[in-house]
């Protein structure tokens, strides 16, 4: 199998992540099951996992293609190169067909079927790496971490910022996060050990580790049954909307993140995120 351009492939996968479609944070039990049962080539890295039936069965996304292991269907795979050469693609009764050939059935997942087709169409449009030479991809977005830090500091600076004094914003900069909490946040959000945690906003009554984590690499959203991570260049162009009635954020492709138990006012969290996206 040949590689699609990794940077763009990961960007697309990150954009389409949802509850049953794990990107960045694949639970350890599922990852162990993948390593033991999916027979993936040793040189392929799992980028994402679409959970179907009993969580452990599903579809793996790697830099070279898709592999699946499903109850009643056994194992199978197709490469990104095969996808790119496909003339027609459709989902019928939960079954994915490439050129009218049946591949896998995802009726056991809550992941929206239309989003899977939309994501695969985007991946299909990517250039393919040929003869071992990478085709350099650019997201077209530059991220200045110093500016990100400036925004975070401004929202936490109550003494010197007259605007901040009128807000109920509860934001903890890295230097103010207790060490044990920092360890818990990095473990829960699977923050890379080489990454730098910049800010934490608790969204559940000021207790526990639910909330929003800002790092040098991107933005993490975490609550019960939902863990999301968006690299900066993906987050900057990501739709983030707010439902005032339900006190919920809508993030990316329909992910709902609850703010009804947040000490910080929901509108202010949205404003903060919008300011980060503008940097």
pLDDT for 137-159, tens place per residue? 444 455 788 899 899 888 875 44
Residue where a domain terminates, one of 57, 89, 124: 124
The domain of 150 spans 145-277
Q: Does 101 fall in a domain?
A: yes
Q: Is the entire prediction scored with pTM above 0.75?
A: yes
Query: How many other C-beta atoms can be found within 10 angstroms of the C-beta atom of residue 134?
Result: 12
What percent of the chain is modeled with pLDDT above 90? 52
Q: Does 217 fall in a domain?
A: yes
Q: Does 14 fall in a domain?
A: yes
CB 59, CB 83: distance < 8 Å: no
CB 246, CB 260: distance < 8 Å: yes
CB 142, CB 279: distance < 8 Å: no
Q: Does 78 fall in a domain?
A: yes
- Mean pLDDT (the chain, rounded): 85
| Count of domains observed in the chain | 2
Position 178 pLDDT exceeds 80: yes
Q: 208-213 — which CB contacts under 8 Å span 24+ positions?
A: 209/181, 209/184, 209/185, 212/269, 212/273, 213/185, 213/189
pLDDT for 67-85, tens place per residue? 999 887 889 999 999 999 9
Position 27 pLDDT exceeds 90: no
pLDDT of residue 71: 81
pLDDT of residue 54: 67
pLDDT bucket at 181, cuts 50 / 70 / 90: very high
Residue where a domain terminates, one of 73, 91, 124: 124
């Amino acid at each position: 199998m040949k590689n699609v351009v990794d940077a763009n492939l990961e960007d697309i996968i990150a954009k389409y992540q949802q509850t049953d479609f794990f990107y960045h944070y694949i639970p350890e039990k599922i990852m162990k099951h993948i390593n033991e049962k999916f027979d993936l080539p040793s040189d392929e890295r799992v980028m994402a996992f679409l959970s179907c039936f009993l969580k452990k069965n599903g579809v793996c996304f790697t830099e070279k293609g898709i592999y699946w292991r499903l109850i009643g269907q056994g194992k199978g795979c197709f490469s990104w190169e095969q996808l790119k050469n496909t003339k027609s693609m459709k989902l019928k009764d939960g079954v994915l067909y490439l050129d009218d050939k049946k591949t896998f059935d995802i009726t056991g997942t809550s992941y929206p079927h239309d989003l899977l087709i939309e994501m695969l169409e985007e991946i299909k449009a990517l250039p393919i790496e040929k003869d071992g030479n990478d085709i350099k991809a650019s997201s077209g977005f530059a991220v200045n971490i110093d500016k990100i830090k400036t925004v975070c500091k401004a929202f936490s600076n109550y003494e010197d910022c007259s605007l901040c004094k009128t807000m109920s914003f509860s934001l903890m900069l890295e230097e103010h996060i207790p060490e044990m909490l920092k360890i818990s946040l990095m473990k829960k959000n699977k923050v890379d050990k080489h990454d730098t945690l910049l800010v934490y906003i608790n969204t559940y009554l000021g207790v526990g580790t639910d909330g929003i984590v800002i790092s040098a690499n991107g933005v993490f959203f975490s609550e019960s049954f939902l863990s999301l991570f968006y690299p900066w260049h993906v987050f900057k162009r990501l739709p983030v909307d707010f439902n005032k009635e339900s006190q919920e954020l809508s993030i990316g492709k329909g992910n709902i993140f609850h703010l009804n138990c947040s000490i910080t006012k929901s509108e202010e969290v949205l404003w903060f995120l919008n300011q980060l996206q503008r940097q």
